[in-house]
């Protein structure tokens, strides 16, 4: 499939080498052929969603899991919004599942993490298929390099902080600290996206040029992407999402890539991490092998063959996951479809609003934030310094990465 080439005389390949609708091919396509191609792509994408729904329905009926699906309707309701984000924003479904599950539904952090990874392995895979089918622009090399680095970071964090001998493979890092760290990341996203939106509103139509300049792919860009993706993979091992957020911020804020190119690229990287997490936690570790008392009821009695006692509505990972699957197989590709057609300002504004809401719920709903001085100070320092550091780096991105300077 054709990709963009480097400009004449350049010794380095173009950063925005994308899998997309190239101008030469578009110029030869008639409107009727273009419409027909889009219609065919839509039929393929929605056909896959329908197929996945049928497979889910057969599995639920065959194994008589209907009651567990109905009992976990709150997971389906949560992912009604989360799945749309998985395909339309850099935050992914885990950005909704993790805070809602841990703060509102009393689901333990490790279960919320595995749920996020497992459900994204379905939803983001559907979104990634939709990205390819609808031929949305992506940066192929960034996806490959970022995916490998993120998976390595994920594995390193699991090995360093995980406790594989305990049910649900919990982390040695305390849950309040994980929530606070996640809030700092989302707050940074909110601030930078609002800043980005205001820059482009005040700069006029020429501002769009910033994100279409061919930025050279240098060794520095590649190493920085590896470091950011590694950190994102590590964060994903704790919260179920993160690689997509950090990669998106790096590409948009520091490299100057159009969000509509950075977004699908970040989604595909998080898809790879989610599949690895689903296989490791859900299948190999057996966290989806959850048994209830007498085959049904309100208590979980074993997880992955290990004795366990917990409230089913909070710890039945299999029931939570199954209840959300039919929602995400439609919601994620729908989000990808919509994101390709909405104005950039609306997409950015939506992402910023969600991030601000998550931070507010952390402050008001996580009791340790108000009772543990060290955690409170760390959160406040993080909220003050991390966004400021990113803005400082953004202003120097031309010197750092030869990126077009931001318009202040």
DSSP string, 201-269: HHH-GGGGGGGTS--B--HHHHHHHHHHHHHHHHHHHHHS--HHHHHHHIIIIII---HHHHHHHHHHH
138, two tokens: 């992506």
- Pair 184, 379: CB distance under 8 Å: yes
Q: Which pLDDT score, from 0 to 100, does residue 208 have?
A: 42
| Domain count within the chain | 1
In terms of pLDDT, which residue wins out, 136 or 146?
146
Distance between CA atoms of 202 and 184, rounded to whole angstroms? Answer: 27
Please name every residue paired with 302 in a beta bridge, in sequence order, or none if there are none: 291, 307
Highest mean pLDDT out of 86-100, 220-234, 318-332 = 220-234
Sign of the four-CA dihedral 254, 258, 261, 266: positive
Whole-angstrom distance, CA of residue 293 vs CA of residue 301? 6
Question: In this predicted model, what pLDDT tens digit does every residue of 343-354 receive, in sequence order?
Answer: 767 766 776 777
Alpha-carbon distance 118 to 306, whole Å? 20
Residue percentage of the chain with pLDDT more than 70 = 80
Confidence of residue 34 (pLDDT cuts 50, 70, 90): low
Q: For residues 97 and 297, which has the higher predicted lDDT (pLDDT)?
A: 97
Q: Is the pLDDT of residue 224 over 90?
A: yes
Q: Would 8 be classed as within a structural domain? A: no
Give the model's pLDDT for residue 17: 41
> How far, in Å, CA of 268 to CA of 146, rounded?
9
Residue 396 lies in a domain: no
Whole-number pLDDT of residue 31: 52
277 near 154, Cβ under 8 Å?
yes
Q: What share of the chain is helix, strand, coil (3-state, %, to 5)?
A: 75, 5, 20
Model confidence at 285: pLDDT above 90: yes
From residue 65, how far is each of 151, 255, 282, 290, 375 by CA, in Å? 32, 47, 17, 12, 41
Whole-number average pLDDT of the chain: 81
Termini Cα distance of the chain: 37
**Does a structural domain hold residue 196?**
no
H helices then E strands: how many in the chain? 17, 3
Within-domain flag for 121: yes
Is residue 128 over pLDDT 90? no
Q: Taking 60 as the threshold, does the pLDDT of residue 211 lie above it?
A: no
Q: Which two tokens stand for residue 368?
A: 């340790």
pLDDT reading at 29 higher than 80: no
Chain centroid to CA 280: how far? 18
Q: How confident is the model over 16-33, as a mean pLDDT?
A: 40
Of 319 and 15, the structure prediction assigns the larger pLDDT to 319
Spell 328-366 as b/e; 16+ CB within 10 A means b.
Answer: bbbbbbbbbbebbeeebeebbebbbebbbebbebbeeeb
Question: For residue 32, what pLDDT is reported?
Answer: 54
Query: Does the structure show a pLDDT above 90 at 340?
Result: no
Q: Is residue 223 part of a domain?
A: yes
Residues 6+ apart with CB under 8 A from 156: 230, 233, 234
Mean pLDDT in residue range 23-30: 38
Find out whether 230 and 148 touch, Cβ atoms under 8 Å: no
Structural domain including 155 reads 29-170+216-343
Q: Please give the residue that has the higher pLDDT: either 396 or 227.
A: 227
Q: Is the residue at 181 inside a domain?
A: no
Q: Mean pLDDT across the stretch 376-391?
A: 93
Find the range with the poorest average confidence among 159-173, 205-219, 272-286, 318-332: 205-219
Q: Are 262 and 252 in contact (CB under 8 A)?
A: yes
- Please tell me which of 115-129, 220-234, 260-274 the model is most confident about, judged by mean pLDDT: 220-234
Cα–Cα dist 37/30, whole Å: 11
Could you report the per-residue pLDDT of 49-105, keeping only the tens digit for each?
899 999 999 999 999 999 999 999 999 998 887 777 666 667 767 777 888 898 888
Instruction: Specify if 139 maps to a domain.
Output: yes
In a domain, 296, yes or no: yes
What is the CB neighbour count within 10 angstroms for residue 28? 7
């Amino acid at each position: 499939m054709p990709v963009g080439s480097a400009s004449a005389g350049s010794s380095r390949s173009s950063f925005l080498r994308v899998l997309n609708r190239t101008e030469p091919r578009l110029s030869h396509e008639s409107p009727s052929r273009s419409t027909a191609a889009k219609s065919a792509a839509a039929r393929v994408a929605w056909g896959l969603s329908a197929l996945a729904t049928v497979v889910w329905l057969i599995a639920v009926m065959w194994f008589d899991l209907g009651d567990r699906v109905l009992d976990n309707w709150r997971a389906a309701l949560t992912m009604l919004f989360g799945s749309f984000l998985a395909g339309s924003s850099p935050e992914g479904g885990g950005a909704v599942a993790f805070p809602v599950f841990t703060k509102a539904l009393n689901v333990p952090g490790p279960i919320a993490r595995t749920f996020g990874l497992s459900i994204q392995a379905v939803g983001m895979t559907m979104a990634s298929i939709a990205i390819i089918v609808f031929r949305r622009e992506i940066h192929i090399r960034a996806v490959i390099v970022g995916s490998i680095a993120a998976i390595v970071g994920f594995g390193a964090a699991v090995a360093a902080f995980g406790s594989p001998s305990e049910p649900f493979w919990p982390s040695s890092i305390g849950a309040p600290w994980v929530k606070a760290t996640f809030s700092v990341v989302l707050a940074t996203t909110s601030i930078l996206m609002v800043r980005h939106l205001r820059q482009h509103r005040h700069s006029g139509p020429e501002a769009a040029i910033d994100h279409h300049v061919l930025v050279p792919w240098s060794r520095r860009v590649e190493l920085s992407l590896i470091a950011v993706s590694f950190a994102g993979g590590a964060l994903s091992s704790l919260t179920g999402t993160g690689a997509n957020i950090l990669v998106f911020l790096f590409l948009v804020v520091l490299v100057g890539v159009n969000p509509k190119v950075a977004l699908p690229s970040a989604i595909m990287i998080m898809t790879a991490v989610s599949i690895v997490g689903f296989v490791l936690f859900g299948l190999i570790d057996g966290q989806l092998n959850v048994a209830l008392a007498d085959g049904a009821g309100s208590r979980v009695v074993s997880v992955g063959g290990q004795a366990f006692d917990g409230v089913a509505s909070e710890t039945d990972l299999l029931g939570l996951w199954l209840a959300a699957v039919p929602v995400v197989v439609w919601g994620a590709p729908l989000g990808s479809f919509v994101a390709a057609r909405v104005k950039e300002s609306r997409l950015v504004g939506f992402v910023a609003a969600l991030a601000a809401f998550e931070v507010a719920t952390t402050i008001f709903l996580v009791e340790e934030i108000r009772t543990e001085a060290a955690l409170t100070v760390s959160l406040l320092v993080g909220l003050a310094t991390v966004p400021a550091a990113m803005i400082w780096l953004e202003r120097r991105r031309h010197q750092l990465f030869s990126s077009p300077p931001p318009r202040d």
